[in-house]
Amino acid sequence: MKSLVIIVVSAGLAALIPFVGSEYALSFTVQLFVFVALAYSWNLIGGYAGYTHFGQVAFFGVGAYTGALLMNAGVHWLLAAAGAGVSGALLALPLGGAMLRVKGPFFAIGMFGMARVCESFALGFDGITQGGTGLYLTPVTDLKPLFFVLWAIAFGMVALTWKLDNSRLGIQLLAIREDETAADALGIRTTRLKIGTFVASAIAPAAVGSLYATYLSFIDPATAFAPMTELTTIAMVLLGGMGTTFGPLVGAVVMSVVNELLWSRFPEIYLALVGAVILAVVLFMPRGIVSFAMRRAWWWVPAARSSLRRLASRPTPSRSPKEAH
Amino acid sequence: MHVQRIQTPPTAVPPPDFASMADTAERILVVEGVGKRFGGLIALSDVSLSVGRGSITGVIGPNGSGKSTLFNIIAGTLRPDRGRVFLNGHDTTRASPAQICRNGVGRTFQVSRLFGEMTVLENLVAVAHGASDAEAVERALGLLDFLEITALRDKWGTELSYGQRKLVEIARALMLRPTVMLLDEPFAGINPRLQNRIVDHLEALRQRGLTLFFIDHEMRIVLEICDTIHVLAQGRVIAEGDAAAIRSDPKVQDAYF
């Protein structure tokens, strides 16, 4: 219940920004939503299933190029984003089948390599992608529709993660994270689940990549496959709390705000300061802000995976209904 | 340990009756001529044994005798080089662990493999396949109650003591409503009181019609509760029978006592 209230209130407040905020606030929030969608997608495979990796930007970049090419072919930007999402899933399916056979650092670095391969393709196939010159798109005049599409994707991912966190599917993913061999021996269909999760975690990044291209009205390999995008996303999830419903949201907001504040005030040393902030959080809250708060059990912090506990605390049917109340 | 020395000629282990392998009314699990080697090391040379439906069957043997290898082959985590494994009359030699598990085999592990960052309740509910959430929770609570560990319900896997983990692993394996339970050293490293508690629970499970198959070093318990005992040494079954037969078998005494 608390979770639902938090989701609805934060989504409602965010939806007010185009009407009360400045052009700058709108632009800032658009970028924030991009990162929220990326962080939640990474949280699915990295946080829940435990397959952390450095290659999510591959889907973001491929989505950006798919979307940009579709838009240049005259497709509406919204349809292009949907097509980009499909392209992400189509890329993730064979990639997941091949890459998810390896675990830990091998998977993490292997995926990083995949992102670099995709970047090389974008550079190399200059007949289609214009190589390093990049693709130019018709600039959008009004940011509001783009804002609301990204708003829907970002909070859709929050709601989806909340549903997952309270479902057996989510618990089975955590079981894979905790001990895949044991999960497999106990009948959890690990291969199917992790490939499915990997594919699901590629859709939003690809769609958002296309929307980001729309927002910039330009895309080139360095922007589409920027390692900085990858690292920022992962830092947000780690900062907020991996494998939690609100970790990526908290991480994305905290990091974006801190980044923005420091960048405008201390332009020379802001990156060092961001590093110091991350270091402090990792030292004092190693499992992230949300996990830290959940451990403290403050009243306003929603418990993780509360639905099962609620079911377990239900009065047993043997008791009479009067006693139950 | 007091061992009766009865001077009887060593009875040869009767060869498995392959003609009645399909007869699954009595034998829920049949291992037929299984061999496995790791490089130059022969872990199992030629092991055949069967487990009676509703029985408590134990496998004992010194370290390195191939017990764990046999267990992992039955559970599907290892593939044998030769031989076959039948479960309920179906050949499961090449089946995956998940398939074998879904065919009614629940297992526990030698070294605890609880999901650490999950609560005990979540550990149990995660493996309840095919049940609704409410059913799964109901089943989990019933099992926690049965094993008298309801108090552990909301504890994290990492918080539990060694003995508690063993009990929770048994509960988790029971979530699958197995017909056979494979218990990998359920009594190793826990105090005698808890050992007796586990024995009581295993007896109660057998009363419910479950077949229990386990490996352990704990001679006292194995001889006490098993209907049939198979003794492994150097990758082969050197003796099988009830406790009295095992106690008096000179080959076992050579290998073990």
Structure confidence by residue, pLDDT tens digits, B141-171: 999 998 889 899 888 888 898 889 989 999 9
CB contact under 8 A, B140 and A312: yes
Residues of A in contact with B128 (CB under 8 A): 168
CB contact under 8 A, A186 and B118: no
For the stretch B44-97, pLDDT in tens is 888 999 999 989 999 988 888 888 889 899 999 889 999 999 998 889 888 888
For the stretch A39-97, pLDDT in tens is 999 999 999 999 999 999 999 999 999 999 999 999 999 999 999 999 999 999 999 99
Rounded CA-CA distance B22/B24 in Å is 6
Is residue A153 classed exposed, middle or buried when 0-12, 13-18 and 19+ CB atoms within 10 A define those classes? Answer: buried
pTM of the complete model: 0.86
CA quadruple A211, A216, A221, A223: dihedral sign: negative
**How many Å lie between the alpha carbon of A89 and the closest alpha carbon of chain B?**
26
Q: Please, which residues 244-303 of chain A have a Cβ atom closer than 8 Å to chain B?
A: none
CB contact under 8 A, A168 and B157: no
CB contact under 8 A, A171 and B126: yes
Rounded CA-CA distance A239/A281 in Å is 7
Nearest-CB residue to B118 (from A178, A181, A186): A178
E strands along chain B, which residues? 27-38, 41-52, 56-60, 82-87, 90-91, 105-107, 180-184, 211-215, 228-233, 236-241
CB contact under 8 A, B117 and A178: yes
Residue A317: per-residue pLDDT? 53
* Residue A228: both structure tokens together: 């900085």
**In 10 A of CB B252, how many CB atoms?**
23
CB contact under 8 A, B107 and A181: no
Check CB contact of B109 with chain A, cutoff 8 Å: yes
Check CB contact of A309 with chain B, cutoff 8 Å: yes
Residues of B in contact with A307 (CB under 8 A): 133
Check CB contact of B102 with chain A, cutoff 8 Å: yes
* Residue B35: both structure tokens together: 């061999």
Residue B24: per-residue pLDDT? 54
Residue spans per domain, chain A: 2-226
